[in-house]
Amino acid sequence: MAGRLEVITGCMFSGKTEELIRRLERVRIAHGNILLFKPTIDDRYGTDAVVTHYGRRFDAHLLPPGEESRAKLIDIVGRNALNDSTVVAFDEGNFFSDKLPPLCETLVNMGKRVIVAGLDLTFAGKPFGPMPTLMALADTVDKLHAVCVKCGQPATRSQRLIDGKPAPADDVVIKIGGSEVYEARCRDCYEPG
């Protein structure tokens, strides 16, 4: 089987992890071997699974950002598990380093179906981490939309709030959080900090 790279992207609350889990469940039904990795910094709902904002879970392995390599995956899951996998997936791809795209290419060249889900833009509206490169390399890209909390139109931006006000654009890029920190907004309702 030829390998391929699929990217699922969009703003916060657009259903990226839901879509990732949906695809992985279909592989599980077909008796495929799945490896799912998440960055060590994403501990919102635990460390042994990827969990959606609505509580849906899928078992996952932790992978430290900056250590994305075939050798590290073998360290984590073992050579046989990696070789036997049909799908290798990464959630929160935006939190990984620029080493993720070459790793994905290596896995694709090994014949793996690789799926990466992650934010395309930071809260400040800038391309996020390795996601632009992954989207350029991908065989397919699905950009999902949330619902704007202000007007109800399709949302493409993640608005970070501090005490109810837009976070300044020079705030730290990575701040783990959910609806207590972020809102989905359309381009018109998004407020630059």
Q: How far apart are CA 5 and CA 137, in angstroms?
A: 8
Catalytic residue among 6, 68, 92, 183: 92
End-to-end CA distance of the chain: 47
Q: How many CB atoms lie within 10 A of CB 187?
A: 12
84 Cβ contact partners less than 8 Å away, ≥ 6 residues apart: 33
191 is catalytic: no
Q: Residue 39 is encoded by which pair of tokens?
A: 């960055």
What is each CA distance from 60 to 2, 39, 119, 161, in whole angstroms? 24, 10, 19, 29
- Helix, strand and coil percent figures for the chain, each rounded to 5: 25, 30, 45
31 Cβ contact partners less than 8 Å away, ≥ 6 residues apart: none
Q: Show which residues are catalytic.
A: 92
